[in-house]
Structure 1
Amino acid sequence: MRYVITGAGSGIGQAVATLASHTADSAGTGPVRLALLDRDAESVEAVAAELRGTGAECLPLVVDLGDPAAAGKAVEQAVSAFGGLDALVSNAGISSADALEDLSLDTYQRTFDVNTRATFLLARAAFPALRDSRGAIVATASISATHPTPPLGMYSASKAALKMMIQQMAVEWGRHGIRANCVSPGPTDTGLTRGSFGDARDAAARANRRYREAVSPMRKIARAQDIAEAVLFLAGPRAGHITGVDLPVDGGLSLTVMPLTGGTPGYRLDEIAQEATAR
């Protein structure tokens, strides 16, 4: 398998790359080939060095996906190096805690540039190679694409647009053998969420984590590996007849709106808060 993976220097992208590096080449003809894209040179080089130890062929590329010219160039480099492409994993994303009334135009534009436009540019550049291989596109959306999430400003809107764009690709490019799907994580332990609920040294983060775990049916926060497993399933041959789906990987969190707001016994917010405090 030949992959382009964005945001590969940390978090979910790194987890996808790590799992992919242990996946045998489907044709048995050579190593897994990974084009690892990230804007942090040190991080992506370190991931590439580690994964080469598994036998994977790695091409680390320092890319700012907010630059409209960068996506196409990176895909061209990957296709040239690997002789084609089997899967595009568009995972890189950004967020900012801005209420709509305070949101600057620059933040608005940057959020859509990275979270939405970059996937389009990557996919458009990868289209000929994916058509040749009858390959797959998997984008990381969010349950925030379905559920507005204050105070993340344009994050929810950018992810909602991403979901629709992926569905559009599924419909338009299916006749070429290209599949396009999303995964939508809920709360997940990554560097991006460390300040919110991942820093065990911070009392507010610990309290937020306990509450988030308490409102989730599975009573836990996802690991980056949990999301990566879903990504690689959708990118691989076992999902060969699946396209245009948005797969929530949220421990059932998106199912809890009615129990929580309806005050169902065992799911009332006061009871949830008590459970979280007791943990």
Structure 2
Amino acid sequence: MRYLITGAASGIGRAVATQAVRRATGDHPVSLALIDRDQEALGALTEELAGSGVTILPLVVDLEDPVAPAGSVRSAIEAFGGLDAIISNAGVLLGGPLEDIELDAYEKTFAINTRVTWLLGKAAFPALKESRGSIVATASISATHPTPPAGLYSPSKAALVMLIKQMALEWGKYGIRANCVSPGPTDTSLTRNSFGAGVSSASEQNRAYREALIPLRKIGRPDDVADAVLFLAGPQASQITGVDLPVDGGVSLSVMPLAGGAPGYRLDQLNSQYAEVSA
């Protein structure tokens, strides 16, 4: 498999890259174009994966530049002779209420969270058509559940989910599949200050509260999401396209209980569960 992975130097992107390397065999070689703007972190990942027998192409790129996605795709195709999967994982979260957000934050959020996936897919279309390849984008459960105070994050991820569905519909006839994964609360650099373990007393309290609301009672790991990404990108999912797969520990199921919509399972009971977790 020949992958292009954005946001590859940390979090979910890093987990996808390292898991892809672990799954490589002599019969199933792997090539990775690793895209990130953090040169130091990308260099560290490249060094870590060196000697694994996998072909690595690190590319330090700022994907906010509208010409950067196509340039990254061209570099990967030149290096690998084609592409089998685009993993569009890079994202940005610029918080704040809608009435306070500036225009440049709007432009940046949609440029990274939505536009990049379209530009990558457009540039890679001939190669993916030839390989009957796939696109997997990292969306969020915030795409279907408005999430304050991340005023623009939810709309940008909702647009991404619909973009992927549009790709799946239009490009299915060429054998190209397009899918999303939608993580729930997951330990990444984007969420570290909010509920990272050991960051602060406030983050620890927030973490305990969130875990109490998740049916599986745990914050997700990047590897949990990477498993889903690699499944959707690979041949095991050859009949799956246009889906948005939640990888959220079941937290999406908690909306109605929180609203008191299920008799016998109201907010006071959830608060009691939180108190038990916090104790």
TM-score calculated relative to the size of structure 1? 0.96
The answer for the alignment partner of 1:4 in structure 2 is 4
Deviations 1:92-124 (A, max 9, x none): 000111100001000001000000001100111
Unaligned runs of 5+ in 2: none
Give, as a single letter, the amino acid of the residue that structure 1 aligns with 2:51: G
Give, in angstroms, the shift of residue 22 of structure 1: 1.5
CA distance in structure 1 between the aligned counterparts of 2:98 and 2:198, rounded to whole angstroms: 30
The answer for the alignment partner of 1:243 in structure 2 is 241
**Counterpart mapping for 1:200-219 below 5 A:** 200-219=198-217
CA distance in structure 2 between the aligned counterparts of 1:114 and 1:193, rounded to whole angstroms: 17
CA distance in structure 2 between the aligned counterparts of 1:56 and 1:247, rounded to whole angstroms: 28
CA distance in structure 1 between the aligned counterparts of 2:180 and 2:23, rounded to whole angstroms: 21
Mapped contact 1:91–1:139 kept (Cα < 8 A) = yes
The answer for the alignment partner of 1:108 in structure 2 is 106
Deviations 1:128-159 (A, max 9, x none): 11111000000000000000001101100000
CA distance in structure 1 between the aligned counterparts of 2:265 and 2:212, rounded to whole angstroms: 9
CA distance in structure 2 between the aligned counterparts of 1:208 and 1:78, rounded to whole angstroms: 41
Deviations 1:59-111 (A, max 9, x none): 11011111001010011000000010000000000011110000100000100
1:261 is the counterpart of 2:262: no
Deviations 1:159-211 (A, max 9, x none): 00000000000011011110000000000001111100004141110010001
Instruction: Indicate how the Cα distance of structure 1 residues 201 and 139 shifts in structure 2: closer, same or farther if over 3 A, else same.
Output: closer
Give, as a single letter, the amino acid of the residue that structure 2 aligns with 1:7: G
The DSSP-based 3-state class of the residue aligned with 2:190 is: helix
The answer for the alignment partner of 1:18 in structure 2 is 18
CA distance in structure 2 between the aligned counterparts of 1:117 and 1:124, rounded to whole angstroms: 11
1:188 is the counterpart of 2:186: yes
CA distance in structure 2 between the aligned counterparts of 1:267 and 1:14, rounded to whole angstroms: 38
Give, as a single letter, the amino acid of the residue that structure 2 aligns with 1:23: R
**Counterpart mapping for 1:44-63 below 5 A:** 44-63=42-61
Mapped contact 1:211–1:272 kept (Cα < 8 A) = no
Q: In structure 1, which of residues 67, 76, 79 is the aligned counterpart of residue 74 of structure 2?
A: 76
Deviations 1:238-267 (A, max 9, x none): 000100000000011111111221264664
Instruction: Indicate how the Cα distance of structure 1 residues 266 and 58 shifts in structure 2: closer, same or farther if over 3 A, else same.
Output: farther
**RMSD of the TM alignment (CA)?**
1.3
Most deviating of 15-24 and 45-54: 45-54
Q: How many residues align?
A: 277
Q: Which runs of 4+ in 1 moved over 6 A?
A: none
The DSSP-based 3-state class of the residue aligned with 1:80 is: helix
Mapped contact 2:260–2:267 kept (Cα < 8 A) = no
CA distance in structure 2 between the aligned counterparts of 1:10 and 1:201, rounded to whole angstroms: 18
Give, as a single letter, the amino acid of the residue that structure 1 aligns with 2:14: Q
Unaligned runs of 5+ in 1: none
Q: In structure 2, which of residues 269, 272, 275 is the aligned counterpart of residue 271 of structure 1?
A: 269
CA distance in structure 1 between the aligned counterparts of 2:193 and 2:24, rounded to whole angstroms: 36
Q: In structure 1, which of residues 252, 272, 275 is the aligned counterpart of residue 250 of structure 2?
A: 252
- Percent identity reads 64
Give, as a single letter, the amino acid of the residue that structure 2 aligns with 1:4: L
CA distance in structure 1 between the aligned counterparts of 2:51 and 2:156, rounded to whole angstroms: 36
Give, in angstroms, the shift of residue 37 of structure 1: 0.2
Instruction: Indicate how the Cα distance of structure 1 residues 128 and 202 shifts in structure 2: closer, same or farther if over 3 A, else same.
Output: same
The DSSP-based 3-state class of the residue aligned with 1:20 is: helix
The answer for the alignment partner of 1:122 in structure 2 is 120
CA distance in structure 1 between the aligned counterparts of 2:263 and 2:6, rounded to whole angstroms: 43
Mapped contact 2:24–2:54 kept (Cα < 8 A) = no
CA distance in structure 1 between the aligned counterparts of 2:105 and 2:264, rounded to whole angstroms: 40
CA distance in structure 1 between the aligned counterparts of 2:202 and 2:272, rounded to whole angstroms: 16
Most deviating of 184-193 and 255-264: 255-264
CA distance in structure 1 between the aligned counterparts of 2:87 and 2:160, rounded to whole angstroms: 13
